[in-house]
Each structure stands twice: as structure tokens, then as C-alpha cells.
Amino acid sequence: MKTIQITFKPLYLLLILGLVFTSCSSDDDSPANDDAIVDSLFRNDAEGWTIVGDAQGGFIEASYSPDGGIIEGYIYADDDVTGGVWYFSSPNSYHGNKQEYYGATLKYSLFQNSNMSNQFAREDIIFKSDEQQIYYEIATYPTADWTNYSVKIDESSAWRYGTFEGENTLATKAQIKEVLSNVTDFWIRGEFESGSDDGGLDKVEIIAE
């Protein structure tokens, strides 16, 4: 029986290897989580997120960048420096009866560009239900690089019921569920510096546990 020997020239070998690596590569190093109840990955636009507070005039669609971010594309805002605090405000897909959020984990990523010399405390995550709200304060502020956050939405994570500058207490399971039963607003803070700043948000996910 004759033995057939196949010889690849260097150019052909490189082409074959290139096809193999191309077929195994991914365009997205941070894919969406299949267990996400809801998410915003900002691959194509701002996805209905708006800005509330003293940035870009307030109550306006967030600015969008197709380049950069955790995944390609993110939203951002520039501070108006009028003395308020600005937030990223979610679209309607996060609102309504969302008791399924209870026990889930909220994940998102932020950056800030500022002097980082006069950072201040405030509500960092807010779920509102008309006149009621629960809020959470993050332990560390974002830097000029993307900073990742992960918070469980239940009474084990020191959520508070009330307002930051008014009366508030540690939120109970019943209070968290009551607010989540009719979410009218969901905000993530974008401003951390007293003074001029800008900041970005990317890859918001609420993931079932």
C-alpha cells in the first residue's frame, strides 16, 4: 500500500492556523449573563437610560459612546456643577412589579473623571416606589478606571428604607419587597465629587441567584 504524504507550505499552514483561531475567538470578552432578569449592555445606544440631577440639563437621555467600556459601548454624563447630585436613571424595562429582584444580585460598572479631592457620601443605588424608597451606599467610590460593583438585593446587604437626609432605618425583608412590588424609579449615582466631574456606566445586570 502506498503512503501518501501531505506537505503544507508555510503560507498554507499560517492560513489554516488563522482559520482555527478565528473560529474559536469571541467578539465579546464579557458576554451577557444567561441568568439576568434584566440587563443593559449598551452595545448600540443608551437603551433609554436618562440623566436626572445637575448634569447635561437633567432629565435628558444619557450620552452614548460606542467605543470603550466593559463591553464595547457605554453611557456617560458631564456635571453641570449647579450644586445637585446626578444619577443614571433606568428605562421602563426595570419598572413595575419587580418582586423577582428580591434575592437577586445587582451588578454594574462605573468610572469617574474628577479631582477626587472632595468625594461625598449619598445614596448610590435607589429603588423608588412612589413616595417610598430603599437605597444602598457603596463602600468604595469609582476611579478613573472601570470599577465593578455587586450588591445583593435583600436585607443582608444593609439596604436602608427612607431618605439619606431624612429618616431612614435598615430595610426589612417586607419593606424591600414592598418597594420592589411597584418600582417607579431605579437610579445609580454617577456623581461623587463636589465640583466638576464626568462619569460613565456600563453593563448593568440584575441576576437571579
* pLDDT per residue as tens digits for the range 75-126: 999 887 777 899 999 999 999 999 999 999 999 999 999 998 999 999 999 9
**Please, are residues 126 and 185 in contact by the beta-carbon 8 Å criterion?**
yes
20 has pLDDT over 90: no
26 has pLDDT over 60: no
**Please, are residues 121 and 191 in contact by the beta-carbon 8 Å criterion?**
no
Collapse the DSSP code of 205 into the 3-class scheme (helix H, G, I; strand E, B; otherwise coil) and give the result: strand
The CATH fold of domain 29-207? Jelly Rolls (2.60.120)
Cell numbers given for 74: 457605554
Strand extents, DSSP E, 79-196:
87-89, 105-114, 125-129, 132-136, 147-152, 160-162, 168-170, 185-189
CA distances to 50, 52, 54 from 57, in Å:
11, 8, 6
